[in-house]
Every structure is written in structure tokens, then in C-alpha cells.
Amino acid sequence: MTLDRALARSLLKDMLRIRRFEEKCAELYSAGKIRGFLHLYIGEEAVAAGALRAFGPDDAILATYREHGHALVRGIPAGAVMAEMYGKAEGCSRGRGGSMHIFDAKTRFYGGNAIVAGGLPLAAGFALADKLMRRPRVTACFFGEGAVAEGEFHESLNLAELWKVPALFLCENNLYAMGTALDRSEADTDLCEKARSYKVPARSVDGMDVVAVMDATARAAAEVRAGGGPQFLEFRTYRFRAHSMFDAELYRSKAEVEQWKPRCPILTFTNRLKMEGLIDDPGLAAIEAEVADEIAKAVAFAEAGSWEPVENLARHVYTEAA
Amino acid sequence: MSTTYRDALREALREALTRDQRVFLMGEDVGRYGGSYAVSKGLLAEFGEERIRDTPLSESAFVGAGIGAALNGMLPIVEVMTCNFSLLALDQIVNNAATIRHMSGGQFSIPLVIRMATGAGRQLAAQHSHSFEGWYAHIPGIRIVTPATLEDARGMLWTALMDPDPVIIFENAMLYNLEGELAPDAGAVDIDRAVVRRAGQDLTLVTYGGSLGKTLEAAAQLAGQGVSAEVIDLRTLRPLDMATVLGSLAKTHRMVIVDEGWKSGSLAAEIMARVMEQAFYDLDAPIARVCSLEVPIPYPKHLEDAAIPQVATIVESALRTAARHG
């Protein structure tokens, strides 16, 4: 796709929103405002920013516990996401989920699933429902390459293809399942081959290139929407930060991380846009200012939020009588 | 009219599929084979392949797909061949079906029904004979029902489908051939309350599912020996209707619980605990339990029979409890 100025700006801004939001999250974690697990997406922003454009408001999005970026790009207000990280009642899941369980009915964002591969069977069912109801919708299911080792990956791809349901399986391959490198957990590290073994069309994409992600996802989503059955995309990407805030990163060298840094999707895209004359330094500064303002407001919203009264603890386990 | 438990279940499925286009059935061999217990026999011809869906042997995927379809506007009925195989789908049931409503702050309903066979008695050995309904009853966020009669086999499904939360229906496999009379206009029943199946004065026998028939038979024998036993069918294991249980205890002051689950950490243990908490001073004697022995259910008939509650063991336990002085 040719990049016009508006699209270029929007893609860059989405990536920066994720980056700055998460940098703030890390800071707030150290300050004790955010607790539990916090899995940062820093380095992988091109995937969420590029892929989610392919989906309309009626499509369903399923993601993993590393989903802040997807939530923001999907349109969940940053304040509601940040309040969720704080555990406040104003959070998008009323504070009950936290960082790993972002849910939002309005944007059809169905988690925030912290069981690796746990969302894939759901995606097959979401897509089956759309097929049965003759709705031209796509279900987008994000997961990491660690999910490929789970039986649910294999069961779900087989089921989705067997029933030709409109599901798009989006694998974010950041090379490490927590601390286990892909080649230490998979006898065959070619992920697309695994999808193809279920006759699911599969493609590998440079996940550090936001335009490549956008184009590949748009094409795959259109084919899935047209009734061609499920597809699989592998985005080759890299996590710059630790797996979670508890990770001492004993499993990879600093040199390896440094080798990936020049491929930072924000850095490379910014350079490209400058070279093509699509953005200049004042333009970049303007985006940074907008993003900083959005995040400041999100933090203020979370800070001002309230704690759910303990009397409400047992609510929402079962449907409440109307 | 005369019918069987199996036919009553099928009639309930047929009614649901007819009443609401969002309803569909999926599971292993529910279509062409007709269901491993022949519950769905004939439904494929009647409703077609879209709505009667054979699945691969992928319990986690098709149970999860049921959850996803329910989240996306359908009313799925998922058949898992037996509860023993449902352990392969435990992640989906516990981590998704039971959890998503709460974890999302109440945003999403999962109107899913999962049906599964449970129980021993057909010499199928350990991997086909266990009773996991008590286990599942441990989990908040799902509802557990155990139809033990033709009326409940016929009536619980629709009510379960109309419940916005996931419901698991445990069908004791020894009941499928149960025959009896069912009113031609039999329909939906509540899935909230326990029911007194036989009134009595001297002690309360609490049971559910496949043990109800044995317990009623035991009560009949007890009557011949001068002991008047009241029999309660719990019907729903989660949430438990303790009001009915405690109401009976307030009258009889003695209780025996019959539960095909293993005794340790069982549903029977939960009921005992609640009676201790809520009605200790109503008791004239310690509560007794007739449960399965703590062994994987064995193959040979005499050992299988000895492993699970039987009429004789219920009678024996009831007589001991009735005779005990506080």
C-alpha cells in the first residue's frame, strides 16, 4: 500500500502510543502503582499497530496477556486501560483483570487471556458463530509463538480449517516463550509449516515493519472475510524488554538484544518517513506531545479512580438478576 | 406416555433446536453415529450438518469453540462423551467459561450448555467410569445440574440454555435406559431447587443423579424395617439448595449422604460441612456418608459393584445412623 501522510502519521502515532504508554507502565510498576504481572510489548508495536487496521467494529479481537498495545490501537480509551492496570473500578474490566485481562464489550475486545493458547479454541467458536449466522465478520486471534507448542493450537487450526470458519490466526513470534527459545522447544521451528499441515494458508511477515504487517493482514483478512476459511500469519518480531517485571533475562545475551535494537519498528519507520518526506522533526514532536498528553490524562484518570467496594467482591461471578 | 431417560433428553434437544435458531449441538459422534449413548440419534437427519456437528477428538478445541460461539451470540450445546474425557477440556471450562464474566467485570455472558455422561456400573474400568460432578461443583462461575428423573432429563436443558451463564449437565450413564411415564406436555423445569422425592420422618437421605434410584430403593427397604426415610434429590450441585436439605434435617435430625464421588473432598463432604456450620444443633447423630471407595473404578463386576454406593450399603448406613443415640 502507498503511504500517504495521514496514514503514515497514524501508524507512527499508534506505535508511539504503545511505546510511551508502556514506558509509563514500567515506571508506575517501579512506583508500586501497578502490581502483579506486567508484560511489556516494547519492540513489538508494529504488529498491533499494523494488523488491527484490517478489522472493523463488528469483528472480534482476542489477544494474550501482552495486550496493552492491541487494546490501545483497538480504541479502548487509554484511561480505562490504565485504570485497569491500577486495579481501579473505572478500569475496562472493573479492575478485576489487571494488566493481563483487558476486556471491552464496546470494541469487541475479548481479552486478555493469560493461558497460552487459551484463546485459540474461543476464536474457532467465534468464527463458527459468524459463519452459522451468515455474518461477514472476521475473528482476529493474537498469540505468541509459545502457543504453537500447546495442543490447543493444533486442535484449533484443524477445527477452523475443517469447518472453514472466518478466523485469522496472528502469531507474534518474538522468539522466546518466556525464557525458552523457539529452537529449544520446537523440533521444527518453521511455524508456517505447522499451519499448512492443517491446510491453513500461512505467511511469514517481518513483524518489525509496520507497513508489511498492515498489508499482509489486510490481504489475509479480506480473504478470510470473503469466505476462504482461516489463515495464519507469523509476524517475526522481538521483545526488547524482559518477559515480565520479574524476569532477570538469564536466557539471552545483552548483545543479542542490542543487535535487534536497530530494527526497532518506531526507529526504522520514522527514518523511512523522514527520508520520504512524510514527516519532519516538528511533526514528530507534535505526535510525541499528543501522545504524552493522552498518557498524562490516562494516568490522572487512573489516579482519580476509585477502589471497588469489598462488598462487591462476589459480584459478576454469575449473571445478576435484572 | 412411556419413555426413557435417553428419549427424554433427545426430546429436550429437539425442542431446543426447534425453538431457537441460535441453538446447535456439537461433540464427538453426535451426528452420523447418533451419539455414543444414542441420545442425538436422528437429529442429524432432522436438523442438518450445520446444527448437529460432529467434531474431531479435540475436547479442548470444541469445548472452547462452544464458549467462543456463546460469547458471539449463539446458544451452543456441547456434548462431551464422558466426564472422564472432559478433563482434556478442563482449561477451557475453568479458565475461560467459569472465569471470563468475573475477569471482565461482568461484561460478558456465556450461555453455554455442556452435557456429559458420568458414573460407573457398566464394567468400563477406570478411564470411563468416574464421577467428576463434585469436582466441577467446586468451581465458581458455572452451574452444575444432575438430572436423575425423566422429568429433569426432559426439562433441565431448556432452562440451562436460557441461563446466561455456563451450565454443565451430568447424565449418569446408568440412567439412559431408565423407563417410566412422562406427561406428554412435560417441559422446562427449574434448575435451582432440590426436591424431596420421598417423604419420611426418621432420617434424611441426601443424594443426586445415578444414586437417586438406589437411594429410593433403600428407603423402600428401610420402610419395611420400620425406618421412615426422607429422600432428597439435590438436582443442582452448584449452587446447592441447602434450604431444602436443612428443612428436612430440622424434621428428621439424622442424615446420610449418598454420593458416587470419592469420599475425600467430595460433594458429600461439602454438604456435611455446611450442615455443621448451619445446623449443628439439629443433629441427633453424626452424619454418615456412602461414597465411592478411594480406588480407580475397576473392571470386574464384583469389584466395581463393591466400589460404588449400592442399595445394601445405603440401607446399612441408614440403619446405623437411625439407631445411634446423640
Q: Is A313 on the interface with B (CB under 8 A)?
A: no
What is the pLDDT averaged over residues B76-105?
A: 97
Give the model confidence (pLDDT) of A251-272 as tens digits.
999 999 999 999 999 999 999 9
Residue A27: how many other CB atoms lie within 10 Å = 12
What is the pLDDT averaged over residues B147-166?
A: 98
Peptide bond into B239 cis (omega under 30): yes
Phi, psi of B261 (to 5 degrees): -70, 160
Q: Is A134 on the interface with B (CB under 8 A)?
A: no
Q: Within 13 Å, how many C-alpha atoms sit on residue B319's CB side?
A: 14
**Greatest Cα pair distance in chain B:** 62
Nearest residue to B75 (alpha-carbon basis) of B161, B165, B160, B191 = B161
Give the model confidence (pLDDT) of A63-96 as tens digits.
999 999 999 999 999 999 999 999 999 999 999 9
Residue B268 has pLDDT above 90, yes or no: yes
Q: Residues of A with CB below 8 A from B100's CB?
A: 103, 110-111
Contact yes or no for A316 and B102 at CB 8 A: yes
Contact yes or no for B105 and A122 at CB 8 A: no
Cell reading at A223: 480473504
Using a pLDDT cut of 70, give the percent of chain A over it. Answer: 99
Give the model confidence (pLDDT) of A154-172 as tens digits.
999 999 999 999 999 999 9
What is the pLDDT averaged over residues B251-270?
A: 98
Q: Tell me, what's the pLDDT at A293?
A: 98
By C-alpha distance, the chain A residue nearest B55 is: A159
Q: Residues of A with CB below 8 A from B50's CB?
A: 132
Contact yes or no for A159 and B101 at CB 8 A: no
- Return all residues near A169 (Cβ < 8 A) that are at least 6 apart: A120, A123, A141, A143, A156, A157, A160, A195, A200, A230, A231, A232, A233
How far is A288 from A271, CA to CA, in rounded Å? 15
Q: Tell me, what's the pLDDT at A321?
A: 80
Residue A219, domain member (yes or no): yes
What is the pLDDT averaged over residues B127-153?
A: 97
Nearest residue to A294 (alpha-carbon basis) of A283, A305, A306, A286 = A286
How far is A26 from A13, CA to CA, in rounded Å? 20
Q: Residues of B with CB below 8 A from A321's CB?
A: none
Q: Tell me, what's the pLDDT at B325?
A: 66
Contact yes or no for A152 and B102 at CB 8 A: no
Residue A282 Cα, gap to closest chain B Cα (Å): 40
What CATH architecture applies to the domain B2-181? 3-Layer(aba) Sandwich (3.40)
By C-alpha distance, the chain B residue nearest A131 is: B50
Give the model confidence (pLDDT) of A198-224 as tens digits.
999 999 999 999 999 999 999 999 999
Residue A321, domain member (yes or no): no
Count of structural domains, chain A: 1
- The size of the A-B interface in CB pairs under 8 A is 146
Helix (H) or strand (E) holding A233: strand A231-236
Q: Tell me, what's the pLDDT at A20?
A: 98
Kindly list the domain boundaries of chain B, sorted by start residue: 2-181, 195-323
Q: Whole domain around residue A129: which residue ranges?
A: 5-302
By C-alpha distance, the chain B residue nearest A114 is: B95
Q: Tell me, what's the pLDDT at A224?
A: 98
Residue B279 has pLDDT above 70, yes or no: yes
Q: What is the 3-state secondary structure (H, E, C) of B227-289?
A: CCEEEEECCEEECCCHHHHHHHHHHHCCEEEEEEEECCCCHHHHHHHHHHHHHHHHCCCCCEE
Residue A197, domain member (yes or no): yes
Residue A244 has pLDDT above 90, yes or no: no
Chain centroid, CA A201 distance in Å: 21
Q: Residues of A with CB below 8 A from B60's CB?
A: 121, 151-152, 155
Q: Is A125 on the interface with B (CB under 8 A)?
A: yes
Q: Residues of B with CB below 8 A from A120's CB?
A: 61, 64
Residue B110 Cα, gap to closest chain A Cα (Å): 10
Give the model confidence (pLDDT) of B165-200 as tens digits.
999 999 999 999 999 999 999 999 999 999 999 999
Residue A319, domain member (yes or no): no
Q: Tell me, what's the pLDDT at A245?
A: 83
SS3 state of residue B161: helix
Q: Is B57 on the interface with A (CB under 8 A)?
A: no
Q: Is B101 on the interface with A (CB under 8 A)?
A: yes
Residue B54 Cα, gap to closest chain A Cα (Å): 10
How far is A48 from A176, CA to CA, in rounded Å? 18
For testing the chain B interface, which of A155, A159, A169, A199 should be mutated: the one with the most B CBs within 10 Å?
A155
Contact yes or no for B105 and A93 at CB 8 A: yes
Average pLDDT, chain A: 96
- DSSP conformational letter for A187: S
Q: Active-site residues of B: which are they?
A: 59, 128
Q: Is A164 on the interface with B (CB under 8 A)?
A: no
By C-alpha distance, the chain B residue nearest A95 is: B105
Average pLDDT, chain B: 97
- DSSP conformational letter for B50: T
Give me the CATH code for the B195-323 domain, please.
Answer: 3.40.50.920
What is the pLDDT averaged over residues B87-110?
A: 97
> Closest to A151 (Cβ–Cβ): which among B60, B63, B164?
B60
> Closest to B106 (Cβ–Cβ): which among A130, A155, A316?
A316
Residue A48, domain member (yes or no): yes
Q: Tell me, what's the pLDDT at A109?
A: 98
Contact yes or no for A129 and B108 at CB 8 A: no
In the stretch 78-97 of chain B, residues with CB closer than 8 A to chain A read 91-92, 95-96
Q: Tell me, what's the pLDDT at B326?
A: 53
What is the pLDDT averaged over residues A37-59?
A: 97
Residue B62 has pLDDT above 70, yes or no: yes
Residue B44 has pLDDT above 60, yes or no: yes
The CATH number covering residue A150 comes to 3.40.50.970
For the beta sheet containing B288-292, the strands, ordered from the edge strand earlier in sequence to the opposite edge, are B195-198, B229-233, B203-207, B255-262, B288-292
User: In B259-292, which positions are buried (b, 16+ CB within 10 angstroms) versus exposed (e)?
Assistant: bbbbeeebbbbbbbeebeeebeeebbbebbbbbb
Using a pLDDT cut of 90, give the percent of chain B over it. Answer: 99
Do residues B36 and B206 lie in contact, with contact meaning Cβ atoms separated by under 8 Å? no
Do residues B30 and B79 lie in contact, with contact meaning Cβ atoms separated by under 8 Å? yes
Residue A313, domain member (yes or no): no
Residue B218 has pLDDT above 90, yes or no: yes
Out of A242-246, A253-257, B160-164, B245-249, least confident range: A242-246
Do residues B25 and B18 lie in contact, with contact meaning Cβ atoms separated by under 8 Å? no
Q: Is B138 on the interface with A (CB under 8 A)?
A: no
Nearest residue to B95 (alpha-carbon basis) of A112, A176, A178 = A112
In the stretch 46-105 of chain A, residues with CB closer than 8 A to chain B read 60, 91-97, 101, 103-105
Q: Tell me, what's the pLDDT at B204?
A: 98
Q: Tell me, what's the pLDDT at B324?
A: 77
Contact yes or no for A110 and B71 at CB 8 A: yes
Q: Residues of A with CB below 8 A from B67's CB?
A: 121-122, 125
Contact yes or no for A315 and B106 at CB 8 A: yes
Distances (CA, A) of B243 to B51, B104, B193, B239, B246: 39, 31, 9, 11, 5
Residue B18 exposed, middle or buried by CB count within 10 Å (0-12, 13-18, 19+): exposed
By C-alpha distance, the chain A residue nearest B24 is: A132
Residue A250: how many other CB atoms lie within 10 Å = 6
